[in-house]
Amino acid sequence: MQEGIAIELVVTKTQPELNLATSYSLELPATMTIEDLQLWLSSQNVKDLQGLAEAFNNAAGFAIFGKAVPASTRLNQGDRLELLSPLLADPKLARRQRVQTRRSERASKGQFDRWTRNR
């Protein structure tokens, strides 16, 4: 007979200037994959677990202890499963915009900009 396993599930909710993470301790009936966990959460009639099932549907990906894994990954005793939220902005584009803003500020103050030579 298979014993149950205990895992930690971390759900992040990203808002424009605030990151919130909520941690849940789950006792699962048996070893299962991430996909199986999603189905199991959907089948439970507990209100909190229904919210977790919705968080699974909105997740951009999954990670175990910070390492990205596919949904077919088997969960083990003591795993920390993280539901990854989608990116709010393209990192390269955001950096370009920050640099352009700093360059404009320096140029308006008459300060030397070694990259653009105050063009």
pLDDT in tens, 104-117: 888 788 777 666 66
Residue ranges covered by each domain of the chain: 5-87, 89-119
CATH class of 5-87: alpha beta
Element spanning 100, H or E = helix 91-108
Query: In whole angstroms, what is the distance from residue 28 CA to residue 5 CA?
Result: 5
Under the phi-then-psi rule, with left for phi > 0, alpha for psi from -120 to 50, and beta for the rest, what region is 19?
beta
pTM over 0.75: no
pLDDT in tens, 35-79: 888 888 888 777 777 778 778 888 888 999 989 999 899 998 999
Phi-psi region at 110: left, alpha or beta (left = phi > 0; alpha = psi -120 to 50): left
